[in-house]
């Protein structure tokens, strides 16, 4: 019987982190042919796991909240109405069937993922990666610490401060770096832009609310461009978003144009052009290069905003109209990232003014680079975590 490793994740960003650890495992330990990797995504449809060829346990379906119910309990009731309870019970039943084959469970997300193991009677060693909680924003609740101490063999935190705090509570915790910084590839592609050009990166997010956010961002782009026509704009379009659907959210001030073969090879799949001739190049598959090239980011995203700050880029953000990017979410994100997220009103003028002021503040740009590295850490965590898991698996037991 093959040993099983189950990755249990509760969020789109968490799926990404899990997949990078799996890829690192397969790269470092090609001999792991006696191990079967399976995944149970608690949010969404598990597209990233499927792309890797990882077997999905239990039913999968997108819910109205996209996993974000803390900011607005109304979405919990919307999820219930959409069949969340039967979906979740289906996952529990699928996990129960695996209980005799499982060697270790990797929980990525929050304590709810660990509790799901218990509800499924997966009383197996649990390695837990809490992605959202940090001592920079108040740390874990008392009950969460109790659960970690009793049921987690190892907790791998997102920063060193949190690891020290959990150790002081008697939890076996370690800091091995932040996998989020492994989840972006920087190739050095500059898309034809000179070294010192002022570039504004746009990260509207990966969920449905991103389209509405983009309407506001594009209006801000027009105003930034009128202040300084030298500013260049790049929009990183998430794989989950449809470039054709953006047409529905473009007003009379914008038109979408196709790009040539050379641009497409670089990942530039379209250009949005305003009546003032501001050009927003829409890039797919080069997220790391877009962020690396930018001086300032306009971001209404979760993990992408954090990664941007990790690369030393200040983020201008505003509340969206969906369940994720609420004002409360942004305040927490700002605190987590040492003040490097600058929250403004959902107003194009306010966004433009803040972006323009940041482009001129060279001292602040240096400060953000320092804080970003401190809060988000260096890349390499996926490989270190993979080694820890792989050595355990190849060591028997």
| Residue of 44 and 7 predicted with greater confidence | 7
Strands 268-274, 254-258: pairing is: antiparallel
pLDDT digits (tens, 9 = 90+) for 174-196: 999 999 999 888 898 898 888 88
pTM (whole model) above 0.75:
yes
270 and 141 inside one domain = no
**Nearest CA among 245, 269, 267, 249 for reference residue 257:** 269
How does residue 391 score in pLDDT terms, banded at 50, 70 and 90?
confident
Residue 293 falls within a domain, yes or no?
A: yes
160 and 208 inside one domain = no
Structural domains counted in the chain = 2
CATH at 73? 3.40.50.2000
Cα torsion 220, 222, 223, 229 to 10°: value is 130
334 and 388 inside one domain = no
What does the pLDDT average to over 346-367?
A: 93
94 and 83 inside one domain = yes
Residue 188 falls within a domain, yes or no?
A: no
Rounded to 10 deg, the angle between the 348-360 and 209-227 helix axes is: 60
What does the pLDDT average to over 271-287?
A: 93
Q: Are 390 and 22 in contact (CB under 8 A)?
A: no
Task: Give helix then strand counts, H and E, for the chain.
Answer: 15, 15
Q: Are 120 and 92 in contact (CB under 8 A)?
A: yes
Residue 190 falls within a domain, yes or no?
A: no
Per-residue pLDDT at 397 exceeds 60:
no
Domain that holds residue 65: 3-182+379-394
79 and 18 inside one domain = yes
Residue 189 falls within a domain, yes or no?
A: no
């Amino acid at each position: 019987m093959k040993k099983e490793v189950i990755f249990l994740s509760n969020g789109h960003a968490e799926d990404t982190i899990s997949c990078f650890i799996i890829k690192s495992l397969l790269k470092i330990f090609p001999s792991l042919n006696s191990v079967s990797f399976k995944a149970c995504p608690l949010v969404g449809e598990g597209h990233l796991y499927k792309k890797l060829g990882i077997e999905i346990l239990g039913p999968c379906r997108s819910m109205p909240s996209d996993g974000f119910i803390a900011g607005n309990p109304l979405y919990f009731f919307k999820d219930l109405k959409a069949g969340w309870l039967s979906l979740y019970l289906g996952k529990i039943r699928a996990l129960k069937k695996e209980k005799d084959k499982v060697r270790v469970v990797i929980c990525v997300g929050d304590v709810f993922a660990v509790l799901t193991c218990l509800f499924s009677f997966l009383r197996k060693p649990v390695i837990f990666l809490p992605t959202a909680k940090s001592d920079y924003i108040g740390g874990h609740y008392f009950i969460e610490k109790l659960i970690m101490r009793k049921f987690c063999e190892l907790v791998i935190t997102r920063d060193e401060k949190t690891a020290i705090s959990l150790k002081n509570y008697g939890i076996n915790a370690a800091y091995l770096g932040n996998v989020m910084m492994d989840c972006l590839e920087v190739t050095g592609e500059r898309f034809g832009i000179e070294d010192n050009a002022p570039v504004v990166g746009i990260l509207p997010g990966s969920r449905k609310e991103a389209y509405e956010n983009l309407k506001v961002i594009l209006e801000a782009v027009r105003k930034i461009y009128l202040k300084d026509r030298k500013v260049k704009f790049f929009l990183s379009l998430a794989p989950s978003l449809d470039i054709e659907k953006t047409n529905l959210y473009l007003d009379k001030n914008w038109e979408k144009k196709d790009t040539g073969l050379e641009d497409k090879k670089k990942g530039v799949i379209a250009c949005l052009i305003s009546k003032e001739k501001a050009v927003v190049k829409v890039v797919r598959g080069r997220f790391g290069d877009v962020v690396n090239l930018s001086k300032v980011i306009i971001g209404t995203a979760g993990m992408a905003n954090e990664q941007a700050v990790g690369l030393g880029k200040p983020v201008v953000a505003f509340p969206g109209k969906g369940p994720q990017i609420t004002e409360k979410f942004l305040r927490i994100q700002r605190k987590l990232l040492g003040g490097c997220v600058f929250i403004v009103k959902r107003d194009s003028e306010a966004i433009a003014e803040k972006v323009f002021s940041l482009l001129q503040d060279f001292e602040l740009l240096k400060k953000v680079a320092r804080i970003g590295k401190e809060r988000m850490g260096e890349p390499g965590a996926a490989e270190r975590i993979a080694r820890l898991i792989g050595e355990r698996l190849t060591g028997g037991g």
